[in-house]
Structure 1
Amino acid sequence: NAHEAKIGKFKDAIVPNTNTSRDFIAELESDKYDDIKDKKIITYCTGGIRCEVISAMMKKRGFKDVYQIDGGIVKYGEAYGDDGLWEGSLRVFDNRMVVDFSDHTKTIGECTHCGGPTNNFENCARAECNELVLICLNCKQDPDLLYHTKACKAVSKSKVN
């Protein structure tokens, strides 16, 4: 999804503008990708499970030549490190949040606030939001920058006053 691809993706990948795999169904049905239905498509995801579901959905909707990476990006990274077609870090869904495949991983993420290089995600400071903010370690020092959106910040600040 677009969120994960902010810090890591395959070179020249088409990244759907979706936040979840479920959101991808609407993207498929929008005819947005009809021009690639006859091309070879390789789906990818962290561990390989979401890819199988997405690949099946794509085939059901008329995509002809769809594959997925066996074992997902994790297995690909173990095999090729940063010397293959993957660029950046891998967003994982445990306490690590981010995995690099080598000591020379390219940082492709950009801080939401200053645009500097980062692969650091932090939870929005508004507890009810629970969205992640891509933020560099320097900007992270300013508590006012730990909000997912200006609206989240405004709601939080209004509760304090």
Structure 2
Amino acid sequence: MEERGDEVVFFDGRNAFEAKIGKFKDAVIPNTSTTRDFVGEIESGKYDHLKDKPVVTYCTGGIRCEILSSVMKKHGFNEVYQIEGGIARYGNKYGDDGLWQGSLYTFDARMAIDFTDKADVIGRCEKCESPTNKFHSCSEVSCYELILLCETCALIPKNLACFHVVKKGAKSELIG
């Protein structure tokens, strides 16, 4: 990385919402909601200008970026690398002294972790733009979206309803 300098491109292999609270400096953040979305994103050609640059894919633990790296190589990206062990291992090794900025989204009750107590808060509340790294579940029963809200805005019940379009796979007791 040090010998290649600015030429290296970090490419986020997570869902786009995860990058709202944490990412590598100057990373490319594709517009994805699922891992399957990466195929369409890469096939779209919008990242073709990166095909001859060294690209470092990353994800939380290393699994999703394995898939992304494979898709990129299949579509003609010449130099594709991964961060071994993902963001979690990188953060445990470098804390906030490396190229990581912000918090790491987690798929458990914590929803986010910081590698040190001096982590920058890069997320912005969807209602007031205040700094935050706190995701909240939408209050609509049929919705599984997460809303990025500061503590103050999260106290207002109407802010917890995201009003997203209900997606396929709604709970069966609600259909009929």
**TM-score between the two structures when normalised by the length of structure 1:** 0.91
Q: Does 1:109 align with 2:123?
A: yes
Please state whether the residue corresponding to 1:133 is helix, strand or coil. Answer: strand
Aligned residue for 2:155? 141
Percent identity over paired residues: 57
Corresponding position of 2:111? 97
Q: Give the 3-state SS of the residue equivalent to 1:21 in structure 2.
A: coil
Residues 14-23 or 105-114, more deviating: 14-23
Partner of 1:47: 61
Aligned length: 152
Equivalent position to 1:73, from 87, 92, 96: 87
Q: Over the residues paired in the alignment, what is the CA RMSD in angstroms?
A: 1.2
- Which is helix-richer, 1 or 2? 1
From 89, 97, 109, give the equivalent of 1:83: 97
Structure 1 ranges of 4+ moved more than 2 A: 149-152
Contact 2:143–2:164, Cα closer than 8 Å, also in 1? no
1:150 offset after TM fit, Å? 6.7
Structure 2 residue 35 is matched with structure 1 residue 21? yes
CA distance in 1 between partners of 2:85 and 2:37 (Å): 22
Residue 129 in structure 1 maps to residue 130 in structure 2 = no
Q: How far did residue 149 of structure 1 move?
A: 2.9
Structure 1, unaligned runs of 5 or more: 153-161
Structure 1 residues 62-88: Cα deviation after superposition (integer angstroms, max 9, x where no partner): 101001100000000000001100000
Tell me by how many angstroms 1:24 deviates: 1.2
- Counterpart CA distance in 1 for 2:27 and 2:147 is 23
Amino acid across the alignment from 2:115: F
**Correspondence for 2:6:** none
- List runs of 5+ in structure 2 lacking aligned partners: 1-14, 167-176
C-alpha deviation, 1:21, in angstroms: 1.4
